[in-house]
Amino acid sequence: MIRALAVTCALLALPVTGCSGPSVPSWSPVAAPAAALVADEGAGLKTAIFAGGCFWSVEAVFSQTRGVTDAVSGYHGGTQRSARYDIVTSGMTDHVEAVRVTYDPAIVRYDQLLQLFFSVVADPTSGDRQGPDRGPEYAAALITANGHQRLVAEQYLAQMSASGKWPAPIVTPVVAVRTFYPAEPVHQDFAARNPQHSYIQRWTKPKVEALQRLYPGLYSPASPHG
């Protein structure tokens, strides 16, 4: 009932009420360690896909990350036929909500994107839940485009586990890329276009503010989409 209300309100761009009850834990950033293995990606733009709960927040953070030239909300893991918001949010597909990030490694490397992702976006100890969003479609995952990204991601997760910064086991998987399906236009740049939306105010805005506070050198006040 609560999730159905959230879906309906989101699609109509109306304020969501009653979506985050007192049982939802408060969110706070974690200063994830700098990666011991620095990504060596060569010249030219690269892409990576990140799943970390509602794609509104993931996209908003990466859209304001310096060196990111594009961030697109979408669906990953399932079929083209099921790549629709109303179907994905039923939790009955193989899709996760995800964001395809295009970035310039001369400005921001993949390992740095991993660090800020786990600092201000996703809880790596949570399975099918991120903040108020519950269900397999909200699972966190690192969706890698190539073998080097996979190596960097796997070693970084191992480093995170050894750091002791998280009190519970880290469960975020590394997943080989499959077809990414961009989400409906209403979900693109959602936070920028709907800054007063209750979800954006409660969950997304603090993450963008944490990006600016923890990584001022990687924060950009301008979205790549203008």
Distance CA 76, CA 140 (A): 12
Start-end of H helices in the chain: 2-12, 55-63, 85-88, 110-120, 147-163, 190-193, 198-199, 205-214
Residue 68: predicted pLDDT: 98
Distance CA 168, CA 146 (A): 29
- What is the domain count for the chain? 1
Indicate the pLDDT class of residue 225, thresholds 50, 70 and 90: confident
Q: Is the pLDDT of residue 6 over 60?
A: no
Residue 223: predicted pLDDT: 82
User: Quick check: is 26 in a domain?
Assistant: no
Q: Is the pLDDT of residue 202 over 60?
A: yes
Indicate the pLDDT class of residue 27, thresholds 50, 70 and 90: confident
Instruction: Encode pLDDT of 185-194 as tens digits.
Output: 999 999 999 9
174-176/141-144 β-pairing: parallel
User: Quick check: is 104 in a domain?
Assistant: yes
Enumerate residues 6+ apart whose C-beta is below 8 A from 155: 35, 36, 37
**H or E stretch including 177?**
none
- Of 19-23, 73-77, 202-206, the range with the lowest mean pLDDT is 19-23
Choose, from 6, 30, 32, 54, the residue flagged as catalytic.
54
Q: Please indicate whether residue 54 is annotated as part of the active site.
A: yes
CA-based radius of gyration for the chain: 16
CATH number at residue 172: 3.30.1060.10
Residue 9, both tokens: 């309100």
Burial class for 164, CB neighbours closer than 10 Å (0-12, 13-18, 19+): exposed
Mean pLDDT across the stretch 45-61? 98
Distance CA 205, CA 60 (A): 9
Residue type, 216: P
Indicate the pLDDT class of residue 2, thresholds 50, 70 and 90: very low
Distance CA 99, CA 59 (A): 6
Q: Whose structure tokens read 């991120």?
A: 130
User: Quick check: is 222 in a domain?
Assistant: no
Residue 91: predicted pLDDT: 96
Instruction: Encode pLDDT of 127-182 as tens digits.
Output: 899 999 999 999 999 999 999 999 999 999 999 999 999 999 999 999 999 999 99
96-103/46-51 β-pairing: antiparallel
User: Quick check: is 108 in a domain?
Assistant: yes
User: Quick check: is 37 in a domain?
Assistant: no
Q: By residue range, what is the domain housing residue 57?
A: 2-11+44-214
Mean pLDDT across the stretch 39-54? 97
User: Quick check: is 66 in a domain?
Assistant: yes
User: Quick check: is 226 in a domain?
Assistant: no
Residue 24: predicted pLDDT: 59
Instruction: Encode pLDDT of 85-120 as tens digits.
Output: 999 999 999 999 999 999 999 999 999 999 999 999
Distance CA 114, CA 181 (A): 22
User: Quick check: is 206 in a domain?
Assistant: yes
pTM (2 d.p.): 0.89
Half-sphere exposure of 87 (CA within 13 A, CB side): 15
Distance CA 118, CA 90 (A): 26
